[in-house]
Amino acid sequence: SYELTQPPSVSVSPGQTASITCSGDKLGDKYACWYQQKPGQSPLLVIYRDSKRPSGIPERFSGSNSGNTATLTISGTQAIDEADYYCQTWDSSTVVFGGGTKLTVL
């Protein structure tokens, strides 16, 4: 079965750039999206189609996908960005989520 691998945790200082990776076999040949989830809340779509931002998502969120890795980048990270982030794709109609990355802003 297809798997997506994320680092369990990433730390970043306020104002700096955070990068969260998501690895999977030939992931660049598929589309990837990213969800943000804060404690006690439902997931929120922050990136779709590799690099598109839904309406209302700040410009500091960006995405890329090439080779075996999709990357979520948060520029000028703010304290409110502290959350869990999940990548997602699909393989043969099966939805696949990554294991999630806890972003700490300190």
Partner 1 sequence: QITLKESGPTLVKPTQTLTLTCTFSGFSLRTSEVGVGWIRQPPGKALECLALIYWDDDKHYSPSLKSRLTITKDTSKNQVVLTMTNMDPVDTATYYCAHRNYESSGTWYFDYWGQGTLVTVSS
Binding site for partner 1 (CB under 8 A): 1, 31, 33, 35, 42-45, 48-49, 54, 86, 88, 90, 93-100
**Backbone dihedral region of 93: left (phi > 0), alpha (psi from -120 to 50 degrees) or beta?**
left
Q: 15 vs 26, which CB is nearer to partner 1?
A: 26
Q: Please state the closest distance from residue 9 (CB atom) to partner 1, in A.
A: 13
Report the distance separating Cα 99 and Cα 74, nearest Å. Answer: 19
Residue that is written with structure tokens 């939805």 in the block: 95
Q: Please state the closest distance from residue 47 (CB atom) to partner 1, in A.
A: 9
